Structure 1
Amino acid sequence: MAVRLRLRIPLRAFDTSLGKLGLDYLDLYVLHWPVPSTFEATAASYRAAEKLLAEGRVRAIGVCNHNPAHLRALTEQTEVVPAVNQVELNPYFVQPEVRQADAGYGIVTQSWSPLGGVNVYWDGGRNKAKNPLDYPTVGEIAARYGKTPAQVILRWHLEHGLSTIPKSVKAHRIAENFDIFDFTLTDGEVASIDAVDTGVRGGPDPDGARHSSYSDS
């Protein structure tokens, strides 16, 4: 009964989301947090997503904020390897271990807060030193190419083979974010941005997450 209930709740939530969106299927459905304290429930939720995938109601399933230990535990308890792992990733927090683990499983690493905005808005914008866009190395490279710091950082993600999802509601920013395919960074420039890494997370720690909600894309 418990197993059926754990499947039923996320399936019902999916039906609700799909109805609100007015769609027949979703391209991507991702588990938001690993919730290590109740990982059995996390795995059950992911198995519900596997059911949706098998039924053709989603085209791909994935996870968010999973570190290597979370991925190992999940793949041991489920059948379908996540297509995507969305994680906080920007020049101040480059996540080499997660990227390596994702690559080992054939998972696409997708960067949320790729420009490092999480470092700013969690701080209320008080500490500009926490903004990768203001880091001198990034500004110097931007001036060299006639690009903005945001474009340089997004190009840095692409040079690493990362998928990136910058957020903006402003048309000119969205256009700016797309305009990154007419230049490339040298290996030295990529390495110089890598060196900006502080190893300090700007957002919530996945090990402290309490809810394994789903997001759709």
Structure 2
Amino acid sequence: MNHSDASSTDLVLADGSKLPKVGLGFWKIPGDQCDQVVSTAIDLGYRHFDCACDYGNEAEIGAAMSKQFSGGSIGRDELWVTSKLWNTYHRREHVRLAVEKTLRDLQLDYLDLYHIHFPISLEFVPFEDRYPPAWFFDPDAESPAMKPVQVPIRETWAAMEELVDAGLVRHIGICNFGVSLIRDLISDCRIRPSVLQVELHPYLTQNHLVRYAQSENIAVTAFSPLGAKSYQPLGMAEASDSVLDNPVVQHIAEETGRSTAQVVLRWGVQRGTAVIPKSQQAAHLADNLNLFDFELTESQMESISGLDQHRRFNDPAVFCEAAFNTYYPIFD
């Protein structure tokens, strides 16, 4: 595994750009809290914001960032801002429309990184009908469901490459892709993906996927790096699924004098990935960023990695059927 330098706060991408190893994920942060969260995060030193059309809060994040820029507390070039192409915009003619909508909402001229959010193509929903469109094609139907469509990844990716050509995005990436899909994509692309973002935590280490991506010089970002916590309120995880309550993690927290969250996040950055934990509380935001003045021993790293249960909390095969009346597996 690519264990990285304890004090280095950035991942260096294939083109030499620097992706901050700790970012702030905006999934499930309510719009009316974005102003305070953005302000606090920037004051604490966050320089990596992970957004998405589907989170439904990009306009509020954009207003908050604009206020910070105009107030002089930070410059646009000091922030790394990521967003994601939603499933309903995979056709070539919709990709640029989607990123332009995100840029208007975020009040930005360009994104540092734009991902394909899922390898899932759904029927287009016009912005004026519903935005963000979420998963249902028609939520008011008698039996609402997803409406999958056949759009090749190559078609979507070619349109993503054109966004780079146009200067709208600086890097393009992929989320929730497995090894075979990545291998197929890079065999025939003009611009390679810079970053892979996937669910990673001690209960889902995905060692082969991480190692493969790193061997292809594709940086890896871990979403849900603390595991079950974000999924408990959604009924997608139980309290007993919490990695932070695991005795191994608690013991290492005692050994290092750190919180269990810091131990788990440190494990993530030390194996060479970026992490994007979510928090709205200033104390947690500060703790989550404070990972670079200690290092886990090889033994501690192995103990945490040994907790792997292949436990995926964000699995379309499960939640699409349960919540959206459509069986749609994407992982083996």
Mark the runs of 5 or more structure 2 residues left unpaired by the alignment.
1-89, 122-147, 318-327
1:58 aligns to 2:143 (yes or no): no
- More relative contact order, 1 or 2 (CA 8 Å, 6+ apart): 1
CA offset at residue 18 of structure 1? 1.1
Q: What is the one-letter code of the residue matched to 2:96?
A: L
CA contact 1:122–1:203 (8 Å) conserved in 2: no
For residues 149 and 94 of structure 2, the distance between their equivalents in structure 1, rounded to whole angstroms, comes to: 16
Structure 1 range deviating more: 180-189 or 15-24:
15-24
* Equivalent residue runs for 1:52-201 within 5 Å: 52-116=163-227, 117-118=229-230, 120-123=232-235, 127-201=238-312
The CA RMSD over aligned residues, in Å, is 2.1
Deviations 1:82-128 (A, max 9, x none): 11100000000000121122012110111000000255345366x33
Deviations 1:101-160 (A, max 9, x none): 2012110111000000255345366x3321100000000110111110000001101110
Cα 1:208–1:137 shift into 2, 3 Å:
same
User: Secondary structure at 1:62's aligned position in 2?
Assistant: strand
What residue in structure 1 maps to residue 119 of structure 2?
34
Cα 1:53–1:39 shift into 2, 3 Å:
farther
Mark the runs of 5 or more structure 1 residues left unpaired by the alignment.
210-217
For residues 13 and 158 of structure 1, the distance between their equivalents in structure 2, rounded to whole angstroms, comes to: 31
TM-score of the aligned structures, taking structure 1 as reference length: 0.86
Whichever structure has more helix as a proportion of its residues is: 1
| Alignment coverage as a number of residue pairs | 204
For residues 63 and 176 of structure 1, the distance between their equivalents in structure 2, rounded to whole angstroms, comes to: 28
User: Secondary structure at 1:58's aligned position in 2?
Assistant: coil
CA contact 1:118–1:202 (8 Å) conserved in 2: no
Q: What is the one-letter code of the residue matched to 1:19?
A: R
Deviations 1:138-183 (A, max 9, x none): 0011011111000000110111011111111111110010111121
Q: What is the one-letter code of the residue matched to 1:72?
A: R
Cα 1:118–1:97 shift into 2, 3 Å:
farther
Structure 1 range deviating more: 7-16 or 59-68:
7-16
Cα 1:20–1:119 shift into 2, 3 Å:
closer
User: Secondary structure at 2:187's aligned position in 1?
Assistant: helix
Q: What is the one-letter code of the residue matched to 1:123?
A: G
CA contact 1:35–1:42 (8 Å) conserved in 2: no
What residue in structure 2 maps to residue 47 of structure 1?
158
What residue in structure 2 maps to residue 10 of structure 1?
95
For residues 71 and 106 of structure 1, the distance between their equivalents in structure 2, rounded to whole angstroms, comes to: 12
CA contact 1:119–1:131 (8 Å) conserved in 2: no
* Matched-pair identity in %: 34
What residue in structure 2 maps to residue 212 of structure 1?
none
Structure 1 range deviating more: 160-169 or 110-119:
110-119
For residues 118 and 71 of structure 1, the distance between their equivalents in structure 2, rounded to whole angstroms, comes to: 27
TM-score of the aligned structures, taking structure 2 as reference length: 0.58
Q: What is the one-letter code of the residue matched to 2:244?
A: L
CA contact 1:111–1:165 (8 Å) conserved in 2: yes
CA contact 1:154–1:177 (8 Å) conserved in 2: yes
Q: What is the one-letter code of the residue matched to 2:107?
A: G
For residues 146 and 86 of structure 1, the distance between their equivalents in structure 2, rounded to whole angstroms, comes to: 30
